[in-house]
A and B are shown apart, each in its own frame.
Chain A
Amino acid sequence: MEALAMKDSAVSHNGTERTLYPYVTGTSVIGMKYKDGVIMAADTGGSYGSTLRYKSLERIKSIGKHSLLGASGEISDFQEILRYLDELILYDNMWDDGNSLGPKEVHNYLTRVMYNRRNKFNPLWNSLVLGGVKNGQKYLGMVSMIGTHFEDNHVATGFGNHLARPILRAEWREDLSFEEAVKLMEKCLLVLLYRDRSAINKFQIAKITDEGVTISQPYALKTHWGFSAFQNPSKGAEGSWFINRIMQTGTRMLVEMAYW
């Protein structure tokens, strides 16, 4: 074992510390409201740089009776946040006054924690999705590592913002049934699986309603590779660098170009 010199010291001149970069990271989390509550999904992968090192990480946890927390980013920071929330819920229960923290309150607490850490230049390197239901009111919000926070009908972190949200903007509705919501979620998860290098084919979908929380057992989705263009991409122009037959619905457009 080498006695390594610290390349980029995270300890600055005045002795204070700052987190420079994450090590074990989780990828996208997607959340959406549906008719009876909120559903949230994430894969169970923990990447270590480009290696898909951990494959059974649970990145969605229930908080108290009314909330679900999903996290992407550095896992050790997520584990620490769960400890903070444990303490928060404990103190809330100790009041024993019949009141319990709802998702809006938990979201606000997390926002304060994340923003204050950011101000000290020592962020918790996570993007958090907080969803829940209390007294019939559905709630879904997001907090980033710099303290940016907002609520919406559907949210996503990381790659999910670029790949899943456009799908959700087109197809989400207020009155989605559970089955429709799951199907829509799986459509997003599949796109992420195809296009996000750090995604793995092992997912958990969690739902929260007024009745309570359910987090599914990890499961895998079928992927589709049987397109004719995948079978033979160079058909018609061997040696070309791209698929040179582009089919449009209805009309057929042939683009003949041969590159060598």
Chain B
Amino acid sequence: MDLDLNAPHSMGTTIIGVTYDGGVILGADSRTSTGMYVANRASDKITQLTDNVYICRSGSAADSQVVSDYVRYFLHQHTIQLGQPSTVKVAANLVRLLSYSNKNMLQMGVIIGGWDKYEGGQIYSVPLGGTILKQPFAIGGSGSSYLYGFFDQAWKEGMSKDEAEKLVVKAVSLAIARDGASGGVVRTVIINADGVTKNFYSGDSLPLWHEELEPHNSLLDILASSSPEPMST
């Protein structure tokens, strides 16, 4: 009440991580913006840390990339020393360590998701400040503001892989519809005991929401079709 909470600072992105019965689904949009300009319309915000752990990045592209690089490097060494795949918990805690100790300089909010043989599929959230939270599902980025209500209603424990992926794609798609800083395609990464599957859902394959129209090649096609809408004068 007496503090100037400069907190939720717009972070251009929508990122989601969801656990399901058997693993995790990570999802993200693909828009990288520099102010009002879309610098990259097909970026991949879901980055690999190890064979079994991936990270969804939001906030400053530079900060999240460099932290991911450091964590990947540390985890590589850790895996060699351990003699087996690193656990998701260790990966998440390494991210937390770097985020927390550099909290004054970094601006990034991430979601870490993966599968290991001890705890199965897990999702960890590391928002601004370096808090670490294990959650059954997590949302982040500027687009996530539009999804709190959606998940409150649509999330269920123990979904199947297909249900969970459909939920993630629907959610990212809804966020893209309303968040200017989110857009492009929906990328998903599914991580479970069998390995990693990456999927790609382009704009035209996503459902249309309120006030969105069917895309056409040209007006000419519409005019040429059997019962065109009359052009008004």
- Per a CB cutoff under 8 Å, which of A20, A48, A53, A158 touches B104? A20
Given the known interface contacts A48-B127, A51-B148, the answer about A1 and B3 at a Cβ–Cβ threshold of 8 Å is no
B32 on the interface (CB 8 Å rule)?
A: yes
What are the residues of chain B within 8 A of A80 when measuring CB–CB?
Answer: 100
Determine whether the beta carbon of A48 is less than 8 Å from that of B58. no
B27 on the interface (CB 8 Å rule)?
A: no
CA distance in complex: A29, B4 (Å)? 21
A57 on the interface (CB 8 Å rule)?
A: yes
B128 on the interface (CB 8 Å rule)?
A: yes
B215 on the interface (CB 8 Å rule)?
A: no
Q: Which of A11-19, A186-194, A225-233 contacts its partner?
A: A11-19
- Per a CB cutoff under 8 Å, which of B57, B60, B127 touches A4? B60
| Least CB separation from B140: chain A residue | A53
B154 on the interface (CB 8 Å rule)?
A: no
B231 on the interface (CB 8 Å rule)?
A: no
CB within 8 Å of B: which of A12-57? 17-25, 46, 48-51, 53-54, 56-57
Determine whether the beta carbon of A3 is less than 8 Å from that of B34. yes
Over the window 48-75 of chain B, the binary record of Cβ atoms lying under 8 Å from chain A Cβ atoms (1 yes, 0 no) is 0000000001111110100000000000
Chain B count of residues within 8 A CB distance of the other chain: 39
CB within 8 Å of A: which of B18-54? 32-35, 45
Determine whether the beta carbon of B129 is less than 8 Å from that of A6. no
A2 on the interface (CB 8 Å rule)?
A: yes
Determine whether the beta carbon of B12 is less than 8 Å from that of A57. no
Determine whether the beta carbon of A24 is less than 8 Å from that of B45. no
Per DSSP, chain B at the interface is loop
A159 on the interface (CB 8 Å rule)?
A: yes
| Least CB separation from A7: chain B residue | B6
Q: Which of B57, B131, B181 has the most CB of A within 10 A?
A: B131
- Per a CB cutoff under 8 Å, which of A17, A18, A23, A159 touches B128? A23
CA distance in complex: A2, B34 (Å)? 5
Determine whether the beta carbon of B60 is less than 8 Å from that of A48. no
| Least CB separation from B57: chain A residue | A1
CB within 8 Å of B: which of A185-218? none
Chain A count of residues within 8 A CB distance of the other chain: 34
Min Cβ gap B10→A in Å is 8
Determine whether the beta carbon of A1 is less than 8 Å from that of B45. yes
B105 on the interface (CB 8 Å rule)?
A: yes
CA distance in complex: A74, B100 (Å)? 11
Over the window 121-136 of chain A, the binary record of Cβ atoms lying under 8 Å from chain B Cβ atoms (1 yes, 0 no) is 0000000000000000
What are the residues of chain A within 8 A of B145 when measuring CB–CB?
Answer: 51
B: residues with CB less than 8 A from A are 1, 3-9, 11-13, 32-35, 45, 57-62, 64, 100, 103-105, 107, 127-133, 135, 145, 148, 181
